Structure 1
Amino acid sequence: MITGEIKIKIDQIWDTFHVSGITNPITVLEQMTYIFFMKMLDDKQLQEEDMARDFDIEIKNPTFLVGQNWLNPVTEQEVPYESMRWSVFRHTGPENMFQMVRQNVFEFIKTIGTGEESAYSRYMQSATFLISDARTLTKVVDGVDALDMNNRDAMGDVYEYILGKMAASGTNGQFRTPRHIIRMIVDMMQPTPADYICDPAMGSAGFLVEAVKYIKEHHERALYTAESVKHIKSSLVNGYDTDPTMLRIGAMNLLLHDITAPELARRDSLSEQNNDESCYTLILANPPFAGSLDKGNVNKKILAYADTKKTELLFLAQFVRSLEVGGRCASIVPDGVLFGTSKAHIAIRKELVDNQQLVAVVSMPSGVFKPYAGVSTAVLVFTKTNSGGTDKVWFYDMQADGFSLDDKRSPIAENDIPDVVNRFHNLADEANRSRREQSFMVSVDEIRANDYDLSINKYKEVEREKVTYEPVNDILSRLKANETAYLSGYNALMEMLEEGVNE
């Protein structure tokens, strides 16, 4: 958790952008990300220089070459590398710093493409620097300079706090699945250092970051072997998005959590350009529910699972396709996926139940994604087998997630999430639960008999208590008695008023 002092500093930086006229939350975050990166590059080299002095060794592949110039491809002028370092330009005065950052440093970070920083920098080509005056840049640089970029745990918390501000602002909140829901899903799936994890619609990389945090918390030994560390920082994490802005934000989120070289790409996961097939062991996702798209652009191998234009169905098909046998998936889906009656809806559910192993359906309350959307959603959990294996499916009816279900989403005491995770990891104890309880098992035969309907209300038993009302004659007698009493009082009052008038 970040401290109150750091929150105040971040809030001040955020407010500085707003005062300068940059009010779109995602634009504010993007511009802050550029400044973060500039400082991280210099901080990293300062650390390497200290290490080189202490151990009398040379720095390998320094970002800023000592005594050499960089050729600016825009201005075609040579600029000393040293002048573009954070520790140098921030002491040159507001106007000089502004010119250096806007004309040179920003263009420089757009050209970096090797080393650990490439995961972020390779998506910089289309970036635009929008800070328009020296005063604003000075305030932002002063605020960021107070942050310790070398403390990745702290900076990870800082970035997640900023992402939370972006969501809380009411704009672009669709890019961020609530963190506690992400954590619930990750806790259910328990990723390991041996996994190859993918989010084909990564947005700000929340699922990927949380998965890495889980691994670091529960598999500390993996952090002490060079092979495991290399895997965690690179091939463990795979993510795709069609928006270069979100790729930059997601890459920075991962970088600040010490994932320096993840496999990220600008890609439409449903198109022909996506060749992923049988290559991941775990998929964690909240894919976009865009409704319909041009079916002509959809990969034909995906359409083989479900011939449809509905993105929520196509993504499920792609998840099946891209998992290796034995691979697992946990995906948020709109409730319509669970009970839709179209051929495509039934086909994808049939695929999960008959050809794969459908494990669980967790129905979430409709307010989880407020204030951005009130749609009801669920979490589908399945394992790819290509040979069936579904025997019973576990259903859970989540009623509360620790926050009010209105637009304010205020913290409350009621929270089913710990119970969801606990019961999911003890499914053997769920077998004999009544359909009247919050969770229960449903046999695959019953699901097939109901056209593969996966909505919990199809199987949940509602306990109805018999209400006994008093006889009608008694009610009428009581009404008559009340009426008599009322008229008696009314007449007494009228008599008192008339006597007063006569006097």
Structure 2
Amino acid sequence: MLQNNAQLKSLIDKLWQNFWEGGIANPLTAIEQITYLIFMKRLDDLEAKRERDAEFTGETYTSRFTGKFQIPGSSESFDKNELRWSVFKHKPADEMLMHVQMKVFPFLKTIGDNVPSLSGRVGEGLFTKHMANAVFIMPKASLLVSAINIVEDIFKEIERDAAEGGHAFQDIQGDVYEMLLSEIATAGKNGQFRTPRHIIKLMAELVAPQLGQRMIDPSSGTGGFILGYFQYILTDLVRKTNPQLLEKDEDGFERATISSILTQEVKSILEKSMVGYDIDTTMVRLGLMNLMMHGIDNPQIDYKDTLSKSYTEDSQYDITMANPPFTGNIDKGDINEGLKLPTTKTELLFVERIFNMLKMGGTAAVIVPSGVIQNSGKAFEALRQLIIDKAELKAVIALPSGVFKPYAGVSTAILIFTKGGETNHVWFYDMQADGYSLDDKRNKIAQSDLPDIVQRYKARDAQKDTDRKQKFFMVPKKEIVENNYDLNLSIYKEETYEEVVYENPNVIFGKLETIEATIQSSLAELKELM
């Protein structure tokens, strides 16, 4: 996979550096522009493949690059073949820049409604809808030329890796796009950041969704949790049908080549099962393209404020995985009537929204800041009471404060609960290592609690998990209620203290005198030499 391909990493770093030096310093803007170029390239490659396949089989195929294209709102039209990556990449720099800005990009924005999607199916309009206000920004022709050359090299490396490593092209391309998105965290700002991929994989393992279960992320961002759901289900299908194809990834989780199991029937079920909403139009576009780059033809990510009065999809989903915004408030007049907590804090309202989204028996895994699990305010306690009294709160997993570095150092926890269940005991786990250093660099390290968390969670037992000196233990509901529904792990964990035995002071003084005598002897020898 990508993590083991130094050449791909180098090319992606070079691409980012070129955009930075070319005057596009905002990481969200850069990722959008890079995405458009990758999309143009992939579109032409797949179209060429379909044309070759049709020629080989003798079937009739009408290329999307056949005929004339008329720019919306203009009387000007031109040959669509001129819009192909393989054609315009040979134009002189200045001419190419104008051509891509004025012709290719307007065409790209219209492909979702009336032609097949990237793998041949008719789009459902969300892509075109959210591309309507997109802008192709390229300050100078030289940046476009260098970016096109690097994208060409990236695709060549993907093809080489696919041929030599036995990986599916689609899987590697998806990994490449994931790495591009990760730069939002390392380079980026604007309060936008992704949940670390290994934390998403952990949450998917704990929730263990099944094919056909409807999943939603009410603050979907770049679509990471939807992708985690998608990849878990495909890996689980391989586990059930062909387990020898599984291999451990860099985080210790089983993974399979997703293209091997992604039949048209499975794809159709999944596309209808995965939904995401976000209130940032840029993130919606990035989320759509992220899923499309991973082989999801018709991703269902849309612009919507799930806390507002306009949201009407309660009790419709089997699975929710999310990392809602930690800070912020919403205008009281805009809050959905179904949200009853006495607060305007988004970190509380999102958890209540997630509870309301679930069907009875539906399960959620949600990341919350430490305040949600321990603050004593009325709304905080009311939320905890909701997920303990009206759901089965299965687990509270405390995360190290460095998990979200370099862009946030807050303490957080994962809550796992099933709506309508009954809470008898809550399983706590004190995660101390997630496989990466807990500083701003977040380098890969050997220590990781992730596999242990999955194993211990699946084997949790209220009769056996009673030793509160360990990382994991069970706490009865009665005790939590007596503590005002406080879910702070440190309240229930028993700290172990090791007795420190000090030497007798006379022994210590004797050692110091010996050291001092040695120093004086050495100084005397040094004086004699001088």
Whether TM exceeds 0.5 here: the answer is yes
What is the CA distance between 1:467 and its match in structure 2? 5.0
Pick aligned residue for 1:191 from 201, 209, 233: 209
Paired positions, count:
486
Pick aligned residue for 1:420 from 440, 443, 453: 453
State the match for 2:71 in structure 1: 72
1 CA distance for matches of 2:82 and 2:202? 46
Contact 1:9 1:143 in 2 (8 A): yes
State the match for 1:407 in structure 2: 440
State the match for 1:100 in structure 2: 99
State the match for 1:366 in structure 2: 401
Pick aligned residue for 2:373 from 331, 334, 338: 338
Q: 5+ unaligned residues in a row in structure 1: which ranges?
A: none
Are residues 224 and 362 of structure 1, via their aligned partners in 2, closer, same or farther at CA, if it must alter by over 3 Å? closer
State the match for 1:280 in structure 2: 317
Contact 1:430 1:439 in 2 (8 A): no
1 CA distance for matches of 2:10 and 2:517? 69
State the match for 1:231 in structure 2: 269
State the match for 1:34 in structure 2: 36
Contact 1:205 1:254 in 2 (8 A): yes
2 CA distance for matches of 1:333 and 1:105? 43
Mapping 1:262-411, distance limit 5 Å: 262-302=299-339, 304=340, 306-385=341-420, 388-411=421-444
Are residues 479 and 293 of structure 1, via their aligned partners in 2, closer, same or farther at CA, if it must alter by over 3 Å? same
2 CA distance for matches of 1:159 and 1:488? 67
State the AA in 1 paired with 2:306. S
| Cα deviation 1:421-480 (Å, max 9, x = unaligned) | 11111113873430111100011111111111111111111123455667xxx74x6798
1 CA distance for matches of 2:422 and 2:408? 35
Are residues 52 and 444 of structure 1, via their aligned partners in 2, closer, same or farther at CA, if it must alter by over 3 Å? same
1 CA distance for matches of 2:444 and 2:261? 35
Pick aligned residue for 2:140 from 133, 147, 151: 133
2 CA distance for matches of 1:100 and 1:356? 57
Of the structure 1 ranges 143-152 and 374-383, higher mean CA displacement relative to structure 2 is found in 143-152
Contact 1:197 1:237 in 2 (8 A): yes
State the match for 1:179 in structure 2: 197
2:225 paired with 1:207: yes
Of the structure 1 ranges 374-383 and 219-228, higher mean CA displacement relative to structure 2 is found in 219-228
What is the CA distance between 1:129 and its match in structure 2? 1.2
| Cα deviation 1:150-197 (Å, max 9, x = unaligned) | 921111010111122332225357421111111111121222212211
Greater Rg over alpha carbons, structure: 1
Contact 1:338 1:454 in 2 (8 A): yes
TM-score by length of structure 2 reads 0.85
Contact 2:196 2:404 in 1 (8 A): yes
State the AA in 2 paired with 1:428. D
State the AA in 2 paired with 1:352. I
1 CA distance for matches of 2:290 and 2:205? 20
Say which SS state the counterpart of residue 17 (structure 1) adopts: helix
Say which SS state the counterpart of residue 175 (structure 1) adopts: coil
What is the CA distance between 1:8 and its match in structure 2? 2.5
State the AA in 2 paired with 1:111. T
Of the structure 1 ranges 35-44 and 355-364, higher mean CA displacement relative to structure 2 is found in 35-44
What is the CA distance between 1:55 and its match in structure 2? 2.4
State the match for 1:63 in structure 2: 64
Say which SS state the counterpart of residue 366 (structure 1) adopts: coil
| Cα deviation 1:240-268 (Å, max 9, x = unaligned) | 11111111111111011101112111011
State the AA in 1 paired with 2:334. N
State the match for 1:88 in structure 2: 87
Contact 1:223 1:229 in 2 (8 A): no
| Cα deviation 1:51-86 (Å, max 9, x = unaligned) | 2222232337x533x23x221125431122121122
TM-score by length of structure 1 reads 0.89
Are residues 273 and 478 of structure 1, via their aligned partners in 2, closer, same or farther at CA, if it must alter by over 3 Å? same
Pick aligned residue for 2:234 from 216, 222, 228: 216
Identity of aligned residues (%): 39
2 CA distance for matches of 1:38 and 1:490? 75
2 CA distance for matches of 1:261 and 1:479? 74
Say which SS state the counterpart of residue 299 (structure 1) adopts: coil
What is the CA distance between 1:396 and its match in structure 2? 0.3
Are residues 464 and 481 of structure 1, via their aligned partners in 2, closer, same or farther at CA, if it must alter by over 3 Å? closer
1 CA distance for matches of 2:521 and 2:500? 40
| Cα deviation 1:193-225 (Å, max 9, x = unaligned) | 122111111111111112211222221469476
State the match for 2:253 in structure 1: none
Contact 1:403 1:410 in 2 (8 A): yes
1 CA distance for matches of 2:414 and 2:324? 12
2 CA distance for matches of 1:408 and 1:19? 22
Q: 5+ unaligned residues in a row in structure 2: which ranges?
A: 118-122, 160-167, 242-259
Are residues 346 and 423 of structure 1, via their aligned partners in 2, closer, same or farther at CA, if it must alter by over 3 Å? same
State the match for 1:9 in structure 2: 11
1 CA distance for matches of 2:500 and 2:89? 76
2 CA distance for matches of 1:427 and 1:484? 57
Say which SS state the counterpart of residue 129 (structure 1) adopts: coil
2 CA distance for matches of 1:492 and 1:351? 75
| Cα deviation 1:278-325 (Å, max 9, x = unaligned) | 1111111110112322121110101x2x12111111011000111111
Are residues 383 and 45 of structure 1, via their aligned partners in 2, closer, same or farther at CA, if it must alter by over 3 Å? same
Are residues 81 and 483 of structure 1, via their aligned partners in 2, closer, same or farther at CA, if it must alter by over 3 Å? closer
